[in-house]
């Protein structure tokens, strides 16, 4: 075990706060107070991204049935644990390999996390500490697996899902992420995905697509070939989830400035908020027109769609564009939910419509609304990530299917995964319709 | 679409962090690190005020019936979206018109938001960015409409409420707010309402009063002329709401210092917390004495009453006074809830008792406990805001009533607004008493 | 009432930000921007610790039965109010008596809180304001009482519990805390309990033990001498609780650095997170092996166990050690829950297993994994706190039992404390099994 001394730390700190200037992206000296303020901002952003895991847990639980609630909560509790531990073991060093590259498509700088020799900052971010850098990125990593969770809910075997998550978070997410954020080939081509419409949301979305295709729809979703709505069991949980995700996105996008620089950070918060609000409006209008009555779950997904949509360009598009991107995302998500339903692709929480469709939309929108970025390069990034992630996820799910199986038995699915996988119920004492 | 360049930003930033000194209220130079720290604090405060919207959503949903839950959640999801978008369109420039005044009762500096020429700060707040200023104030604005939502719950038509909210947030809130915070006539008279006991809470409360009077009580609330309690459907949701509101109030009051200045900010947090705690105690004691058993919903409203009460004077009253103000608020809220009930004014969540009664109490208390402020001036502000807001809201509700109608049909009210307005239920699968 | 002037504040601030340098622990000057950043960090940490009270409320409510939910929520709403008010009255000055000592086992510097003469900082923490110092410590104090709440749930009389909480928080917690954190005898012996595995969690845990022993098990918990599981009524509430506690722990541990010093703070966040994640893993594995199916409530308690375990040494153990400490905590908590069950010690939420067992484990682990600290000194601290707290709590509960009684009537316990103590139900309208 490595022992650390607090006094040693402090001496080092004082010396190195100064020294970090040399590494700083803007080549401007970062004084000690600014270093501390940067670090505080990034820690706050880390907490907010952490909150997103609770948001996903409650959203997914709310939009599915009471008999599968324990299972969903269990998966969503495991995911941040898996994400943080695998990221410490190898993900961080796959995503930010420093100079340990093999052709800009893959790099790895070794197992485990430890302070760089003689420093408290990483080579990538001189404005705050190595530990803050690790923790912020680790919280990010786990969100990709969470996106998958919702799409495959109510029918996937617990241990198969956990195994998939471990491997996908440990390998697929950081390898693709490195292409853009770790100095890889996409970074070199001026691809722009500010906080991860592609690098996080569609990375999760493509895996969700693979899972949905391999698992097939839930029992009862299609009656005589027609989609039948399966209502979620708690809209308050879903609303709590969406508000927590919106809150978390302030850290997700705001923290992706990778400093506390007041102008850019606060601008990103404004575009993020306006896109979320516009997504709500877009989805409400579309739902009210198509479904005759405004559907709450559509509006909630509209909010998330706006947030996913603005994530790629929050820093480079204008105020008007941020509202437009969000509104279009709100329209798209309603059409996509209805479309996937008709296409017999059963996604209980609308994860494909939110994260995949709008991850793509948001990334391409950067090419439309920022004069400095090329639509074709944006499209290249979308496709490259898509091919890699879908193939990786499909192959991984397929392998797991052959070894462990993917889907629970029909009996267990009807009875609920809570009893089947965990031997307990989510709502002891409440009378719940057994047919639901 | 306006395109922005990140590098341009940064250069501007560096130059202007220095330049902002000239505008600073205290006429003291703000160095770059302090500017960043200020900005971080105000962003954190913004997030906390945002959390209040989730707090209101869960509180209101918890204190009403399961059959109207989707409707309440829908309204509370729409409100921050409406608030932020209308504030960007015109509210911000109505509330802070700069020099574009017409007699200090009204001013408007044009539509839309954009950076002031050659700067990153607004003329009002040199200590942090224009964007942070906008976002903090936009989050504030929406809270006024949310207060109305609870009082008119379980019987108002969805589109009528949404239309009311859009107009009230876009016009009434910023116009009144300008009188005090935008350099208007109340500011000139040394009226003191630190974070909005009057300017936010009673602005919402007066509109709630107008709505309650025009809508009348819910079916079943009065049996043979006597009030009958209609129990909320989820006390956990209500408790989550109150804790989130308390948390949010740290940003609501703490952010209203409008800088990260350590002494004033932390002092405000202490008076705010003590008033909330004293409100809990006051309400518990009063409820235990009058109702024989301590009522949880009374204690929850006591907490909020203490918070509303301290909001006007959190920065200028002493520690002892903050406890006294909170305790009195806790007593008042219990008496007010019982009083409104007897007066046949049906307010499902106690919004009038919390926000209107204690908004007035808190504002007047500044005149009692701060030697620098006059009771008569405080009373003037309370009355002026009251007359304007009540008349505005009453006329607006009346107009909407004639055009769209205000109240759902008796059949829909009995069946629940979830089915009637949204075609869905909040708790799919749960057995719920249909008579409730 | 003491009146305060804002302008006076500001002048004082400017002068004293400089002056604080003299008191600073590291004897290094703290410039104004650093002072502000420190203060912001400590305020954020305060908010996060506040969130823990909501976390405890929802966790405890979720893991118990629907008929006792109002009672649990009521207690958990009262506790922060009691904690903050008693801490303002005397707790703060018992815990940090300055030089007003009586033999390093007891000290008291008078009633009430007010700014130190001519300063804005306390003598203990020159890096941020006196008010921030008070509020952070006050939020901490209340957590000790909350731990007790869960263990004695579903059978203790409301007013007896409230009286216990007032006295325990006002006296026992700050007296023991002073031994280590207020300059008392344990501080002098190089005892190390960074953020309170012993000083907070086992202080709560020992009182919980006394309560459990004096109250006896709930009716129906033991059938023919064998423990029968009594399921909680809402796993979503429990999960919300655990995530909020994890979130709160970032402030609990991160704020215990008592400054925004980037290196130590961010390191503590990483060890805290890794221990929580490892606790989840340890509990999942142990539960899956022993109980055949992975139990969600075990995994949730595993997360909290990891957090309690790392709390004593988060700043001094290595990365590997933090994972090991968390994993062992996850194993221990499952074994302890099953063990207490067999020993007929009925603890509805597992508070003893989480806070007492792992509070001890975490404190001793510092002696194992930090070369600078002695296992024997750690053991001394654990035992001293244990003897004092257990005797204090046992005597206090016993006294209350003789005066007011401790346990509700059998009839009330069967019917539920919500009706018995509060005259209301938590879930109006829902059909709930009356036998549960």
Residue among C266, C292, C296 minimizing CB distance to A132: C266
Model pLDDT for residues C376-422, shown as the tens digit of each residue: 999 999 999 999 999 999 999 999 999 999 999 999 999 999 999 99
B89 touches chain A (CB under 8 A): no
Res B115: pLDDT: 86
Contacts of A318 in chain B (CB under 8 A): 1-4
- A235-249, A310-324, B106-120, C40-54: the lowest-pLDDT one: B106-120
B210 closest CA partner among B243, B178, B172: B172
Closest residue in A to C323 (Cα–Cα):
A85
Q: In this complex, which chains have at least 3 CB pairs below 8 Å with chain C?
A: A, B
Spatial contact of C78 and C165, defined as CB atoms under 8 Å apart: yes
The confidence score (pLDDT) of residue A124 equals: 72
Tokens of C146: 């909350």
| Rounded-to-10 torsion of CA B77, B78, B83, B86 | 150
Contact B33 C35 (CB under 8 A): no
Mapped onto helix, strand or coil, the DSSP state of residue A113 is coil
Q: Is A279 helix (H, G, I), strand (E, B) or coil?
A: helix
Query: Is-contact B339 B287, C-beta < 8 A?
Result: no
Flag if B39 and A266 touch (Cβ within 8 Å): yes
Instruction: Give tens-digit pLDDT for A165-218.
Output: 999 999 999 999 999 999 899 999 999 999 999 999 999 999 999 999 999 999
Q: Do C10 and B260 touch (CB under 8 A)?
A: no
Q: C226-227 and C222-223 as β-strands: parallel, antiparallel, unpaired?
A: antiparallel
Using DSSP bridges, classify how beta strands C101-102 and B226-227 pair: parallel, antiparallel or unpaired: unpaired
- What pLDDT, on a 0 to 100 scale, did the predictor assign at position C124? 73
Q: Out of A40, A70, A135, name the one closest to residue C260 (CB).
A: A40
Angle at C15 between CA C10 and CA C21, to 5 degrees: 125
**A320 in B contact zone (CB under 8 Å):** yes
Alpha carbon of B55: minimum distance to chain A alpha carbons (Å): 9
Two structure tokens written together for C55 = 């976390």
Judged by average pLDDT, the poorest of A120-124, A268-272, A355-359 is A120-124
Residue from C8, C9, C11, C47 to probe the interface with B (highest B Cβ count within 10 Å)? C47
Backbone angles phi, psi at B407, to 5 degrees: -110, 140
Looking at the complex, does the CB of residue B408 fall below 8 Å from at least one CB of chain C? Answer: no
* Residue A435 neighbours by CB distance under 10 Å: 7
Please provide residue B226's backbone torsions phi and psi, each rounded to the nearest 5 degrees: -105, 140
pLDDT at C255: 97
Q: Are A33 and C37 in contact (CB under 8 A)?
A: yes
CB A64 within 8 Å of CB A348: yes
pLDDT of residue B2: 33
| Pairwise CA distance, residues B378 & B367, whole Å | 6
pLDDT at A357: 98
Q: What is the mean pLDDT of chain B?
A: 91
Q: Which residues numbered 321-360 in B keep a CB inside 8 Å of some CB on C?
A: 321, 323-324
Residue with tokens 């991984």: A396
Nearest to A422 among C239, C293, C436 (CB): C293
Two structure tokens written together for B287 = 């409820």
CA distance C413 to C216: 13
Q: Which chain C residues are within 8 Å of B228, Cβ to Cβ? A: none
Instruction: Determine the distance in angstroms separating the CA of C303 from the nearest CA of chain A, rounded to an integer.
Output: 9
Alpha-carbon span C118 to C130, nearest angstrom = 12
Question: Cα–Cα distances in Å, from B369 out to B165, B197, B253, B320, B323?
Answer: 35, 15, 18, 10, 12
Q: Given pLDDT bands bounded at 50, 70 and 90, which one contains residue A121?
A: confident
Q: Do C39 and B315 touch (CB under 8 A)?
A: no
The neighbours of chain B, by the rule of 3 or more Cβ pairs under 8 Å, are A, C
Helices B32-62, C32-62: axis angle to 10 degrees equals 20
B24 and C CB contact within 8 Å: no
- Residues of chain C contacting residue A75, judged by C-beta atoms under 8 Å apart: none
Measured between CA atoms, the residue of chain C closest to residue A419 is C293
pLDDT score at B29: 55
Query: For A184, phi and psi rounded to 5 degrees?
Result: -85, -165
Exposed, middle or buried by CB within 10 Å (0-12, 13-18, 19+), for B188?
exposed
Q: pLDDT value at position A436? A: 57
Is A43's CB within 8 Å of C266's CB? yes
Residues of A in contact with B237 (CB under 8 A): 236
All partners of chain A with 3 or more CB pairs under 8 angstroms: B, C
DSSP per residue over B85-106, as a string? Answer: HHIIIIIHHHH--TT-BSTTS-
> Buried b / exposed e across A75-107, counting CB within 10 Å, b at 16+?
bbbbbbbbbbbbbbebbbbbbbbbeebeeeeeb
Contact of B74 with B422, CB cutoff 8 Å: yes
Of residues A56, A310, A272, the one with CA closest to residue B80: A272
| Contact residues, chain A, for B4 at CB < 8 Å | 267, 316-318
Please tell me if residue C277 touches chain A, with a CB cutoff of 8 Å. yes
Phi-psi region of C212 (alpha: psi -120 to 50; beta: other; left: phi over 0): alpha
The answer to whether residue C272 neighbours chain A at the CB level (below 8 Å) is: no
Classified as helix, coil or strand, A107 is strand
Say yes or no to pLDDT of A12 above 50.
Answer: no
Burial class (CB in 10 A: 0-12, 13-18, 19+), C416: buried
User: Given this model, what pLDDT does residue A2 score?
Assistant: 33
How far B50 CA lies from chain C's nearest CA (Å)? Answer: 15
Q: How confident is the model at residue A117, as a pLDDT?
A: 77
The nearest alpha carbon in chain C to B277 belongs to: C81
Please provide the DSSP assignment of B103-151 as one string. Answer: TTS-B---SS--PPTT-SS-SS-TTS-HHHHHHHHHHHHHHHHHHHHHH
What is the rounded distance in angstroms from the CA atom of residue C368 to the CA atom of residue C375? Answer: 6
Minimum distance, in Å, between the CA of residue B316 and any CA atom of chain C: 6
Nearest alpha-carbon partner for B250 in B314, B187, B199: B314
Calpha distance B201→A138 (Å, rounded) = 40
Measured distance CA(C146)–CA(C282) in Å, rounded: 25
Q: Within 13 A of B314's CA, how many CA atoms are on the CB side?
A: 34
- The residues of chain C scoring below 50 in pLDDT are 1-28
Question: A430 contacts in C (CB within 8 Å)?
Answer: 66, 233, 430-433
Cβ atoms of residues A332 and A306 within 8 Å:
no
The answer, for A296 touching chain B at a CB cutoff of 8 Å, is yes
Alpha helices per DSSP H over A63-91: 69-86
pLDDT, one tens digit per residue, over A283-340 is 999 999 999 999 999 999 999 999 999 999 999 999 999 999 999 999 999 999 999 9
Q: Which of B338, B378, B330 is nearest to B354 (CA)?
A: B330
The pLDDT of residue A398 is above 50: yes
Q: Which B-chain residues 136-195 have CB contacts (< 8 A) with chain A?
A: 138, 158
Residues 32-61 of A with CB under 8 A from B: 33-34, 37-38, 40-41, 44, 48
> Is residue B174 within 8 Å of B200, Cβ to Cβ?
no
Rounded CA-CA distance B338/B341 in Å is: 5
To test the contact with chain C by mutation, choose from B235, B349, B367, B370 the residue with the greatest count of C C-beta atoms within 10 A, namely B235
Instruction: Evaluate whether A276 touches A306 at the Cβ level (below 8 Å).
Output: yes
Which whole-number Å values give the CA distances from B71 to A270, B143, C109, in the listed order? Answer: 28, 18, 54
A245 touches chain B (CB under 8 A): no
Decide if A236 touches C, using CB distance below 8 A. Answer: no
**CA–CA gap between residue B382 and residue B386 (Å, rounded):** 6
A289 CB contacts (<8 Å, ≥6 apart)?
Answer: none
**Residue C20 pLDDT:** 35
Counting one residue from A and one from C, how many pairs have CB atoms under 8 Å apart? 204
ipTM reported for the complex, 2 dp: 0.93
CATH superfamily, region B31-105+121-422:
Ammonium transporter AmtB like domains (1.10.3430.10)
What pLDDT does A181 receive? 94
Closest among B237, B53, C313 to A273, alpha carbons compared: B53
Question: How many distinct helices (H) and strands (E) make up chain C?
Answer: 18, 4
Q: Do A74 and C294 touch (CB under 8 A)?
A: yes
Of B396 and C118, which is predicted with more confidence?
Answer: B396
pTM of the entire structure? 0.94
DSSP C231: -
Longest Cα–Cα distance of chain C, Å, equals 72
Tell me the β-bridge partners of B226.
Answer: B223
Q: Which residue has the higher pLDDT, A201 or B6?
A: A201
Report yes or no: B29 at the C interface, CB cutoff 8 Å: no
- Mean pLDDT confidence for A270-280: 98
Contact A280 B78 (CB under 8 A): yes
Shortest Cα distance from C309 to chain A (angstroms)? 16
Which one of B4, B42, B80, B83 makes the best mutation probe of the A interface by having the most chain A beta carbons within 10 Å?
B4
Instruction: Pick from A141, A427, A431, A433 the residue to mutate for testing the C interface (most C CBs within 10 Å).
Output: A427
Domain A11-422 adopts which CATH fold?
Ammonium transporter fold (1.10.3430)
Average pLDDT, chain A: 91
**Cβ within 8 Å, pair A430-B425:** no
Burial grade of B302 (CB within 10 A; 0-12, 13-18, 19 or more):
buried
- Asked if the Cβ–Cβ distance from A267 to B158 is below 8 Å, we say no
Q: Which two tokens stand for residue C187?
A: 């501080």
Nearest Cα to Cα of residue C369 among C328, C331, C332: C328
Is residue C103 within 8 Å of C120, Cβ to Cβ? no
Q: What is the pLDDT of residue B435?
A: 59
Q: How far apart are CA B295 and CA A401, in angstroms?
A: 54
- Distance in Å, alpha carbon of B424 to nearest chain A alpha carbon: 8
Q: How far is C296 from chain A (nearest CA, A)?
A: 6
Report the pLDDT value the prediction gives residue A119, as an integer from 0 to 100.
Answer: 78
- Residue showing tokens 């691809």: A191
Mean pLDDT, residues B123-128 taken together = 82
Query: In terms of CA atoms, which chain A residue is nearest residue B78?
Result: A280
Which chain C residues are closer than 8 Å to B295 by Cβ?
Answer: 422-424
Can you give the pLDDT at residue B436?
Answer: 57
Q: Would an 8 Å CB–CB cutoff place B66 in contact with chain A?
A: no
CATH fold group of domain C10-422: Ammonium transporter fold (1.10.3430)
Question: CB-based contact (8 Å) between B243 and chain A?
Answer: no
Side-chain half-sphere exposure of A413, counting CA atoms within 13 A: 18
- Our measurement of the distance from residue B300's CA atom to the centroid of its chain's CA atoms, rounded to an integer in Å, reads 17
DSSP H or E stretch at residue C72: helix C69-86
Q: Would you list the domain boundaries of chain C?
A: 10-422
According to DSSP, the residues that pair with A107 across neighbouring strands are A101
């Amino acid at each position: 075990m490595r022992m650390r001394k607090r006094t040693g730390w402090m001496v080092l700190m004082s010396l190195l706060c100064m020294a970090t200037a040399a590494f700083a992206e803007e080549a401007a000296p970062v004084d000690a107070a600014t270093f501390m303020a940067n670090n505080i901002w990034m820690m706050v952003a880390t907490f907010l991204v952490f909150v997103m895991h609770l948001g996903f847990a409650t959203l997914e639980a709310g939009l599915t049935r009471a008999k599968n609630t324990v299972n969903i909560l269990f998966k969503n509790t495991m995911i941040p644990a898996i994400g943080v531990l695998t990221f410490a073991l190898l993900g961080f060093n796959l995503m930010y390999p420093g100079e340990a590259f093999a052709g800009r498509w893959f790099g790895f700088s070794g197992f485990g996390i430890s302070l760089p020799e003689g420093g408290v900052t990483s080579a990538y971010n001189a404005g705050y500490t190595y530990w803050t850098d690790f923790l912020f990125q680790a919280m990010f990593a786990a969100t990709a697996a969470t996106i998958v969770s919702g799409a495959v809910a109510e029918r996937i075997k617990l241990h198969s899902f956990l195994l998939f998550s471990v491997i996908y978070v440990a390998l697929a997410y950081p390898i693709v992420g490195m292409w853009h954020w770790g100095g890889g080939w996409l970074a070199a081509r001026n691809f722009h995905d500010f906080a991860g419409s592609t690098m996080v949301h569609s990375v999760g979305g493509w895996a969700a697509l693979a899972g949905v295709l391999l698992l097939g729809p839930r029992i009862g979703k299609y009656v005589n070939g027609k989609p039948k709505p399966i209502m979620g069991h708690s809209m308050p949980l879903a609303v709590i989830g969406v508000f927590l995700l919106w809150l978390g996105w302030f850290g997700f996008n705001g923290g992706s400035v990778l400093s506390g620089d007041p102008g850019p950070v606060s601008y990103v918060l404004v575009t993020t908020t306006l896109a979320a609000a516009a997504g709500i409006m877009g989805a409400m209008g579309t739902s009210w027109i198509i479904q005759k009555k405004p559907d709450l779950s559509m509006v909630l997904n509209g909010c998330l769609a706006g947030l996913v949509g603005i994530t790629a360009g929050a820093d480079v598009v204008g105020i008007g564009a941020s509202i437009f991107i969000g509104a279009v995302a709100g329209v798209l998500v309603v059409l996509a939910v209805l479309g996937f339903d008709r296409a017999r692709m059963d996604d209980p929480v609308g994860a494909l419509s939110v994260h995949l469709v709008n991850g793509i939309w948001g990334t391409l929108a950067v090419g439309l609304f920022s004069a400095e970025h090329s639509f074709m390069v944006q499209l290249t990034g979308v496709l490259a990530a898509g091919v890699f992630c879908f193939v990786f996820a499909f192959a991984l799910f397929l392998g797991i299917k052959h070894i462990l199986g993917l889907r629970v038995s029909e009996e267990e699915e009807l009875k609920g995964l809570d009893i089947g996988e965990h031997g307990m119920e989510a709502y002891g004492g409440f009378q719940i319709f057994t047919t639901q």
